[in-house]
């Protein structure tokens, strides 16, 4: 396969951070230098902090200007004030860099015509010199395989999810939240005003990126409608593609305009665009997160609507969960009499229900037998495993004498891994998809259940875990709808 | 006011726990004795554990049978197996108790006709003897002023919220989650199968309970339609009343039937019943929790739809939040030019927005001035204060050197209290309602924000805090709808 023109942007061998400050904290916007050090970029490439007022940062020599850096520089991160940015553009051209990411804000998004003109002029100059620009007003690149990160604490383990976000804060939230659910990324880009590189450029890249299977995009404004639609179609043809569009309401549209200078769009039109392209539209941030998890684990292959809800610890929870599943368009079918009879051989009548929702807590061996009976029952397409009940309880339980927290957390992780492995094993054996559903609230906390530990252990086994029954049902219903309107396109969902 | 017949049920002076086991853990169903000890019941009344196989529990003498307890007993908690329950009923009559709570399950909810008949016979006997029964198949009573609790860890600080829940697990969840948001209870009852005392009995009590301002009910089955409707009307006339009905879908109805033996109902009919009674219907558990918070703080008095969204930390968050507010039926009006001009005197153009959503981080004095300008701007009925931005950041920030966790948590609590006090002060000054909205996710965790600390500090000031912008907007839109259809009824919303 021919190299994509953007490949070099994602894989720089030398980076300069211009306008770096030594006083910036960890973890927040603006600490790019520290994030790159933590990501290990200096172990594979040259990292050059630039600031005329500083001579050294964290043991790295700091250069007075970009032109003073000793070697070729591929990628520049601009943290200089907007007023100084045009001068940095000239230096980039003189230095012969390949790409520049403007964290610098204060251009077209302010609505100020003079600053919008400055933005246009800078981009025109850079383009003429063959330099690609990301931004302005954004967080830039996160590429684990290139040791690039825009915030501290990002995982350097590469994955198969490609994220595209116009908003930097949303990019940070998405990466952070999905990472804690086990997801890993091939690339993530926050592109802000999109003055040069736009959503369609990145979608075009993702479409043929061999490291990517799932593409998630947060878009505020579509800057070139036809190009966007073409790129989205190309991308959604071969990658499971999820799009969240901000600013589709009147209030949101006004907010998007002052955030990234983006113009409004209609919800109905955007929905039609996604459908025609074969992408799935997320309606809110939670949808985007959940769809990425579903698209990168097994639930994207579920074909029916029948849910078995396995969860002890409360019939009221089962009732409301069944209501939620039904409202989202899935069903909780009654267990066939033969399955009930088999379960009643080892599950007592009092204090249990085996009619689906299944609310019973047999011992470990019988639990496995129960799950096998339910998973192979007629009408069951998926097993929703509530974090209380269907999976092993952590062996260390809260008691009057508080257990050692380290021991407890090890036990929680171990229990999560055992549950996840059991789900994988039973799924492979029965052909029915297992899905983890978590309970928040006091009860789960008291039982020492860690939704994060469980979600991660499940994800490693290709099993999706969702923060609630409602979100699990909603996500899978969306997947079913998505597959239906992809008819005729290659089967990737 | 005449004493209500149920008053004595809620205020027993001596309690026997029959079938108690010394090996039960803390915090889960079945540890009633331990929960009562922790609640301090023995300091105000007699507590008698009963079990013929045990001689002493936690320093309390254990009696072989209820009839062996030394003094009069008002209230009995039954943990005996179902097969032994009829014998305990006879003993209750002989002992002359006033009420019995059957934690014991395995009766009508199993669908077994013989056990359903046993339940009917027991209740008939008890009624004939003038003894009221709660349950079977439930958790019973939580009454802080009487030092009654059905789980460990329940607050003994009395409040003004009355909770009625057919499901014990849901009762525990609701109490736990609302307590962590600052809510306190007058009484909470889990009444299970409702064989004797039913939802309408408790609603009737709540209607005239001077300790109660807000009533929340989780119902699975309405056992006596006309009586329920009458009691709900009476209750909703004088108390802000919120009802969540489980089992309104086909799947949920089946689940409710096997949980508490309840029969189905239609969503449309139940909705009409609530509207006619002047109660508000929660559609899911989160709704119930949020509506209780709104009903017991200031947002239940909001009369308009204009939201000012105050929150730095990310324009993408502001865009999606504005979309969510709009979708729920509120609006995010543009700031008048005069207000923008005033704010621009101290807020720079780059990296900020003052057009609503407001995304700016001036220093503390200017922040207060900014909030005053926004709160008094035309069209603004409420201020949504995001946990990042609009409120003071905790002074201890995450950094390379981890701060002392105790110091950090004290600082978080102190910052939360300061934010809450500021909101209260500005609300009193401007007449515009302040509402806390929290952000989950990685960013909030990194900033050391504690949603629990903030929610509690806000609640103490009469300010509602919601776990997300969507939930805040949805709740307030529901309150507005609720008030509209209460027209003609006393103004309590």
Rounded to the nearest angstrom, the minimum Cα separation between B485 and chain A is: 25
Nearest CA in chain A to B139: A314
Chain B residues with beta carbon closer than 8 angstroms to that of A400: 26
Taking a C-beta distance cutoff of 8 angstroms, is the pair A217, A165 a contact? yes
Instruction: Check B443 against A169: CB less than 8 A apart.
Output: yes
Residues A251, A255, A256, A257, Cα dihedral to 10°: 110
Q: Which of B88, B144, B92, B121 is nearest to B195 (CA)?
A: B121
Q: Which of A422, A446, A441, A424 is nearest to A433 (CA)?
A: A424
Nearest CA in chain B to A81: B350
Q: Is B126 exposed, middle or buried (0-12, 13-18, 19+ CB in 10 A)?
A: buried
Dist CA A458 CA A471 (whole Å): 16
Q: How confident is the model at residue B1 (pLDDT cuts 50, 70, 90)?
A: low
Residue A177 touches chain B, beta carbons under 8 Å: yes
Identity of the residue in A165, A258, A315 whose CB atom sits nearest the CB atom of B355: A258
Q: How confident is the model at residue A450 (pLDDT cuts 50, 70, 90)?
A: low
Instruction: Check B315 against A260: CB less than 8 A apart.
Output: yes
Residue A252 touches chain B, beta carbons under 8 Å: yes
Q: Which of A243, A267, A244, A265 is nearest to A254 (CA)?
A: A265
pLDDT tens-digit readout, B154-202? 999 999 999 999 988 899 989 999 999 999 999 999 999 999 999 999 9
pLDDT, position B405: 60
Q: How many other C-beta atoms are found inside a 10 Å radius of the C-beta of residue A485?
A: 14
Mutate one of A255, A349, A451 to test the B interface: name it (highest B CB count within 10 A): A255
In this predicted structure, the answer to whether residue B27 has a pLDDT above a threshold of 50 is no
In this predicted structure, the answer to whether residue A432 has a pLDDT above a threshold of 70 is yes
Q: How confident is the model at residue A316 (pLDDT cuts 50, 70, 90)?
A: confident
Mean pLDDT of chain B: 89
Residue A149 touches chain B, beta carbons under 8 Å: no
Chain A residues with beta carbon closer than 8 angstroms to that of B85: none
- Residues 6+ away with beta carbon under 8 Å from B455: B180, B181, B182, B436, B438, B465
The whole-number average pLDDT for the span B110-128 is: 95
Instruction: Check B246 against A165: CB less than 8 A apart.
Output: no
**With the C-alpha atoms ordered A444, A445, A447, A452, is the resulting torsion angle positive or negative?**
positive
In this predicted structure, which of B212-216, B292-296, B393-397, B420-424 has the lowest mean pLDDT?
A: B393-397
Chain B residues with beta carbon closer than 8 angstroms to that of A112: 349
In this predicted structure, the answer to whether residue B400 has a pLDDT above a threshold of 50 is no
Token pair, residue B204, equals 């009737």
| Surface of B (308-337) touching A: CB under 8 A | 313-327, 331-332, 334
Nearest CA in chain A to B27: A446
Identity of the residue in A259, A320, A442 whose CB atom sits nearest the CB atom of B180: A442
Instruction: Check B172 against A442: CB less than 8 A apart.
Output: yes
pLDDT, position A94: 98
Rounded to the nearest angstrom, the minimum Cα separation between A469 and chain B is: 12
First-residue to last-residue Cα distance in chain A = 24
The whole-number average pLDDT for the span B19-32 is: 63
Give the up-direction half-sphere exposure of residue B448: CA atoms within 13 A in the CB hemisphere: 24
Mutate one of B315, B325, B340 to test the A interface: name it (highest A CB count within 10 A): B315
State CA A61 to chain mean position distance. 35
Token pair, residue A405, equals 């927290």
Q: For strands B60-61 and B56-57, give the pairing.
A: antiparallel
Instruction: Check B252 against A323: CB less than 8 A apart.
Output: yes
Identity of the residue in A252, A317, A350 whose CB atom sits nearest the CB atom of B105: A350
Instruction: Check B315 against A446: CB less than 8 A apart.
Output: no
pLDDT, position A118: 97
Mean pLDDT of chain A: 89
Strand order in the sheet with A46-50: A46-50, A14-18, A75-78, A99-102, A132-134
Residue B25 touches chain A, beta carbons under 8 Å: yes
Letter string b/e over residues B345-362, b meaning 16 or more CB atoms within 10 A of that residue's CB: eebeebbbbbbbbbbbbb
Residue B59 touches chain A, beta carbons under 8 Å: no
DSSP string, B67-103: GG-SS--SEEEE-S-GGGHHHHHHHHHHHT-SEEEE-
pLDDT, position B340: 95
The whole-number average pLDDT for the span B63-75 is: 96
Considering chain A, what percentage of its residues have pLDDT values greater than 70?
89
Strand-pair partners of A17:
A49, A77
Q: How confident is the model at residue A405 (pLDDT cuts 50, 70, 90)?
A: low
Q: Which of B218, B226, B231, B224 is nearest to B192 (CA)?
A: B218
In this predicted structure, the answer to whether residue A329 has a pLDDT above a threshold of 50 is yes
Instruction: Check A400 against B169: CB less than 8 A apart.
Output: no
pLDDT, position B292: 98
Q: How confident is the model at residue B2 (pLDDT cuts 50, 70, 90)?
A: low
- Which range has the top average pLDDT, A14-28, A110-124, A351-365, A386-400? A110-124
Q: What is the DSSP letter of A20?
A: -
pLDDT, position B442: 56
- Look up the ipTM and state it: 0.89
Taking a C-beta distance cutoff of 8 angstroms, is the pair B95, B66 a contact? yes
Instruction: Check B258 against A350: CB less than 8 A apart.
Output: no
Instruction: Check A317 against B173: CB less than 8 A apart.
Output: yes
DSSP string, B404-434: PHHHHHHHHHHHHHHHHHHHHHHHHHH-PEE
Instruction: Check A259 against B320: CB less than 8 A apart.
Output: no
pLDDT, position A263: 62
Taking a C-beta distance cutoff of 8 angstroms, is the pair B291, B475 a contact? yes
Instruction: Check A169 against B316: CB less than 8 A apart.
Output: yes
pLDDT, position A201: 97
| Surface of A (391-450) touching B: CB under 8 A | 397-400, 441-443, 446
Strand-pair partners of B386:
B437
pLDDT, position B156: 97
In this predicted structure, which of A207-216, A257-266, B141-150, B464-473 has the lowest mean pLDDT?
A: A257-266
In this predicted structure, the answer to whether residue B259 has a pLDDT above a threshold of 80 is no
What global pTM score does this model have?
A: 0.91
First-residue to last-residue Cα distance in chain B = 24
In this predicted structure, the answer to whether residue B429 has a pLDDT above a threshold of 90 is yes
In this predicted structure, the answer to whether residue B401 has a pLDDT above a threshold of 50 is no
- Residues 6+ away with beta carbon under 8 Å from B403: B396
Rounded to the nearest angstrom, the minimum Cα separation between A132 and chain B is: 23
Rounded to the nearest angstrom, the minimum Cα separation between A71 and chain B is: 30
In this predicted structure, the answer to whether residue A283 has a pLDDT above a threshold of 70 is yes
In this predicted structure, which of A163-167, A322-326, A375-379, A410-414 has the lowest mean pLDDT?
A: A410-414
State CA B90 to chain mean position distance. 36
Identity of the residue in B247, B350, B397 whose CB atom sits nearest the CB atom of A323: B247
Taking a C-beta distance cutoff of 8 angstroms, is the pair A231, A162 a contact? no
Give the up-direction half-sphere exposure of residue A111: CA atoms within 13 A in the CB hemisphere: 12
pLDDT tens-digit readout, A168-216? 889 998 999 999 999 999 999 999 999 999 999 999 999 999 999 999 9
Mutate one of A316, A335, A445 to test the B interface: name it (highest B CB count within 10 A): A316
Dist CA A399 CA B27 (whole Å): 8
Taking a C-beta distance cutoff of 8 angstroms, is the pair A195, A106 a contact? no
The whole-number average pLDDT for the span B84-99 is: 98
Coil, strand, or helix at residue B163?
strand
The whole-number average pLDDT for the span B459-487 is: 95
pLDDT, position A25: 45
Instruction: Check B353 against A169: CB less than 8 A apart.
Output: no
pLDDT, position A107: 93
Q: Which of B186, B179, B189, B188 is nearest to B155 (CA)?
A: B179
CA distances from B217 to A183, B202, B235, B246 (A): 39, 10, 11, 11
pLDDT, position A266: 81
> To which residue do tokens 């949020």 refer?
B290
Residue B251 touches chain A, beta carbons under 8 Å: yes
Letter string b/e over residues A289-310, b meaning 16 or more CB atoms within 10 A of that residue's CB: bbbbbbbbbbbbebebbbbbbb
Token pair, residue B432, equals 């515009």
The whole-number average pLDDT for the span A13-20 is: 96
Q: How confident is the model at residue B101 (pLDDT cuts 50, 70, 90)?
A: very high
Q: How confident is the model at residue A451 (pLDDT cuts 50, 70, 90)?
A: confident
- Residues 6+ away with beta carbon under 8 Å from A111: A258, A261
> To which residue do tokens 């129960």 refer?
A370
pLDDT, position A398: 41
pLDDT tens-digit readout, A64-103? 999 999 999 999 999 999 999 999 999 999 999 999 999 9
In this predicted structure, the answer to whether residue B232 has a pLDDT above a threshold of 90 is yes
Residue B46 touches chain A, beta carbons under 8 Å: no
The whole-number average pLDDT for the span A365-393 is: 82
In this predicted structure, which of A189-198, B92-101, B415-424 has the lowest mean pLDDT?
A: B415-424
pLDDT, position B325: 96
Strand-pair partners of A325:
none
In this predicted structure, the answer to whether residue A442 has a pLDDT above a threshold of 70 is no
Dist CA A423 CA A457 (whole Å): 11
In this predicted structure, the answer to whether residue B467 has a pLDDT above a threshold of 70 is yes
Tell me which of A449 and B236 has the higher pLDDT: B236
pLDDT, position A264: 62
In this predicted structure, the answer to whether residue B284 has a pLDDT above a threshold of 70 is yes
pLDDT, position B263: 62
Instruction: Check A322 against B251: CB less than 8 A apart.
Output: yes
């Amino acid at each position: 396969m021919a190299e994509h023109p953007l490949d070099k942007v994602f894989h720089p061998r030398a980076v300069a951070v211009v306008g770096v400050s030594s006083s910036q904290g960890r973890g927040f916007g603006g600490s790019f230098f520290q994030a790159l050090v933590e990501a290990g970029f200096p172990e594979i490439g040259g990292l050059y902090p630039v600031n005329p007022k500083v001579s050294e940062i964290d043991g790295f020599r700091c250069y007075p200007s970009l032109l003073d850096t000793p070697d070729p520089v591929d990628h520049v991160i601009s943290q200089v004030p907007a007023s100084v940015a045009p001068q940095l553009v000239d230096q980039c051209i003189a230095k012969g860099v390949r790409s520049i990411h403007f964290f610098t804000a204060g251009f077209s998004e302010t609505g100020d015509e003079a600053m919008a003109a400055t933005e246009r002029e800078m981009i025109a100059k850079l383009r003429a010199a063959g330099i690609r620009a990301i931004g302005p007003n954004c967080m830039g690149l996160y590429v684990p395989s290139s040791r690039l990160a825009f915030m501290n604490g990002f995982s350097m383990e590469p994955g198969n999810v490609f994220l595209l976000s116009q908003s930097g804060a949303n990019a940070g939230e998405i990466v952070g939240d999905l990472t804690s659910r086990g997801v890993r990324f091939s690339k993530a880009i926050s592109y802000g005003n999109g003055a040069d590189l736009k959503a369609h450029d990145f979608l075009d890249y993702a479409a043929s990126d061999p490291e990517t299977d799932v593409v998630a995009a947060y878009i505020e404004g579509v800057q070139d409608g036809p190009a966007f639609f073409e790129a989205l179609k190309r991308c959604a043809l071969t990658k499971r593609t999820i799009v969240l569009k901000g600013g589709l309401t009147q209030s949101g549209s006004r907010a998007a305009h002052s955030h990234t200078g983006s113009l409004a769009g209609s919800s109905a039109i955007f929905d039609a665009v996604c459908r025609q392209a074969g992408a799935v539209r997320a309606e809110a941030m939670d949808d985007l997160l959940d769809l990425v998890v579903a698209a990168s684990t097994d639930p994207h292959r579920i074909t029916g609507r029948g849910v078995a809800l396995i969860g002890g610890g409360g019939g009221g929870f089962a009732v409301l969960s069944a209501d939620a599943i039904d409202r989202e368009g899935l069903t909780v079918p009654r267990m066939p009499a033969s399955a009930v009879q088999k379960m009643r051989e080892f599950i007592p009548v009092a204090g249990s229900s085996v009619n689906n929702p299944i609310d019973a807590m047999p011992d470990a061996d019988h639990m496995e037998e129960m799950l096998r009976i339910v998973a192979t029952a007629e009408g069951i397409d998926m097993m929703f495993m509530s974090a209380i009940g269907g999976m092993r309880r952590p062996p260390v339980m809260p008691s009057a004498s508080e257990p050692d927290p380290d021991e407890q957390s090890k036990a929680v992780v171990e229990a999560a891994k055992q549950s996840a492995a059991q789900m994988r094993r039973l799924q492979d054996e029965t052909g029915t998809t297992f899905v983890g559903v978590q309970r928040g609230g006091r009860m789960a906390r008291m039982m020492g259940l860690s939704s994060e530990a469980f979600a991660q252990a499940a994800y490693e086994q290709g099993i999706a875990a969702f923060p609630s029954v409602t979100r699990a049902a909603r996500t899978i219903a969306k997947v079913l709808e998505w597959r239906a309107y992809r008819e005729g396109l290659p089967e990737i969902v």
